[in-house]
């Protein structure tokens, strides 16, 4: 499909929990140190208190980030590993702008399933046939399934859409849903509100890119992220303001749980990981079958 003319690499930034190494690499000048002139394109994310976007279960390409990518407004972005896989596979099937998985990403975002403090639900098994608010076809959705499949049969896992992280947290508070799947900074907000956390898990990002980004450019971008990871892991506190801002004043810097942050340098996306993850997404009817490692993954930054 036709895309916009670009003069420099365009990188998406959305939720801080996914993009912190990108933001830090930008702020600290690490991209410039690599000789890169990068344009950063901000897209709405479900962690932001100001978001009004409503994602549907039956459409994966209607969110702002996907629309901007398909129109050529960005060349590279990251989201949950399964979400990237679904988009890379189904873009090919639907004739949309192509994208490849080009790395296992730097951010291992924490997700948690929370319930109202007055709830009679005390363990994951007790969510049988109870509604869990998630973002459809994104990290909170996929990670919820990963966390819950050890406790419930698939037919008893009931996911629903209540909107942004704030909206679903309010829905739990008001008794409109039984539980919600949240990422930071909203897990910290849930704790501040006295919510009960049933289960938590890390969810690794994957990096996607168009064919417009050559191997050397990706290599430099990932080196900048790796350098940012080292700085974050030493002391994340200087960057807590990104998370606090997403809550619109509901959280103070000292209330943010920095211990949940976990990052590592971007890595090649291995065939073994593809096989395991793709089989899991097909098992849950999360994406179409018949994709291959060869037509979906491109580790050109390490070749």
Q: In this predicted structure, what is the pLDDT of residue 3?
A: 46
Residues 212-226: pLDDT tens digits?
A: 899 999 999 999 999
191, pLDDT greater than 90: yes
Q: For residue 57, give the 3-state DSSP assignment.
A: coil
% of the chain residues with pLDDT over 90: 67
**pLDDT score recorded for residue 1:** 42
**What distance lies between CA 127 and its chain's CA centroid?**
24
Percent residues over pLDDT 70 in the chain: 91
Stretch 205-234: mean pLDDT, rounded?
A: 95
pLDDT at 19: 93
Q: Is the pLDDT of residue 25 over 90?
A: yes
CA–CA gap between residue 65 and residue 78 (Å, rounded):
10
Confidence of residue 137 (pLDDT cuts 50, 70, 90): confident
Each as own residue / partner, the long-range contacts of residues 37-40 (CB below 8 Å, 24 or more positions apart, any chain) are 37/8, 37/9, 38/8, 38/9, 38/10, 38/11, 38/221, 39/8, 39/9, 39/10, 39/11, 40/10, 40/11, 40/12, 40/13
Predicted pLDDT of residue 206: 93
By the 8 A CB rule, do 271 and 293 touch? yes
Of residues 77 and 131, more confidence is placed in: 131
User: Residue 47 pLDDT > 70, yes or no?
Assistant: no
The reported pLDDT for the residue numbered 7 is 62
Confidence tier at 48 by pLDDT (50, 70, 90) = very low
Mean pLDDT of all residues belonging to the chain? 89
Q: Average of pLDDT values for 107-135?
A: 96
Assess contact for 85 and 278: CB atoms under 8 A: yes
Q: Is 23 left (phi over 0), alpha (psi -120 to 50) or beta?
A: alpha
Angle at 254 between CA 251 and CA 260, to 5 degrees: 85
pLDDT, tens digit, 9 for 90 and up, residues 143-163: 999 999 999 999 999 999 988
76-116 pLDDT, tens digit per residue, is 988 888 888 888 888 878 888 889 999 999 999 899 999 99
Contact (CB, 8 A) for 46 and 80: no
Three-point CA angle 261, 266, 271, nearest 5°: 120
Contacts of 265 (CB under 8 A, 6+ apart): 106, 222, 225, 226, 229
pLDDT in tens, 1-15: 444 445 688 898 888
Least confident of 34-38, 55-59, 163-167, 182-186: 55-59
- Predicted pLDDT of residue 230: 97
């Amino acid at each position: 499909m036709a895309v916009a003319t670009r003069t420099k690499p365009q990188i998406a930034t959305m939720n801080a929990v996914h993009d912190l190494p990108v933001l830090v690499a930008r702020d600290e000048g690490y991209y410039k140190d690599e000789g890169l002139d990068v344009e950063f394109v901000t897209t709405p994310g479900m962690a932001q208190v100001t978001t009004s976007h409503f994602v549907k279960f039956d459409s994966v390409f209607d969110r702002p980030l996907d629309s901007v990518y398909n129109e050529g407004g960005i060349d590279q972005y990251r989201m949950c590993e399964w979400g990237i896989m679904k988009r890379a596979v189904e873009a090919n099937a639907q004739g949309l702008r192509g994208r490849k998985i080009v790395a296992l990403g730097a951010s291992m975002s924490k997700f948690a399933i929370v319930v109202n403090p007055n709830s009679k639900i005390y363990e994951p098994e007790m969510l049988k046939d109870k509604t869990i608010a998630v973002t459809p076809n994104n990290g909170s959705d996929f990670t919820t399934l990963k966390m819950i499949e050890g406790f419930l049969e698939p037919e008893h896992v009931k996911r629903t859409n209540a909107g942004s992280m704030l909206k679903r947290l309010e829905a739990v508070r008001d008794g409109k849903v039984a539980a919600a799947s949240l990422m930071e900074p909203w897990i910290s907000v849930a704790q501040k509100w006295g919510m009960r956390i049933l289960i938590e898990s890390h969810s690794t990002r994957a990096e996607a890119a168009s064919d417009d980004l050559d191997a050397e450019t990706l290599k430099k971008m990932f080196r900048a992220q790796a350098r940012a990871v080292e700085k974050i892991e030493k002391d994340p506190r200087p960057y807590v303001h990104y998370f606090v801002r997403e809550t619109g004043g509901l959280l103070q810097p000292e209330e943010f749980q920095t211990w949940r942050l976990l990052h590592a340098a971007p890595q090649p996306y291995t065939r073994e990981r593809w096989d395991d993850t793709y089989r899991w997404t097909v098992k849950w009817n999360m994406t179409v079958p018949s994709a291959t490692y060869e037509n979906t993954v491109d580790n050109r930054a390490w070749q």
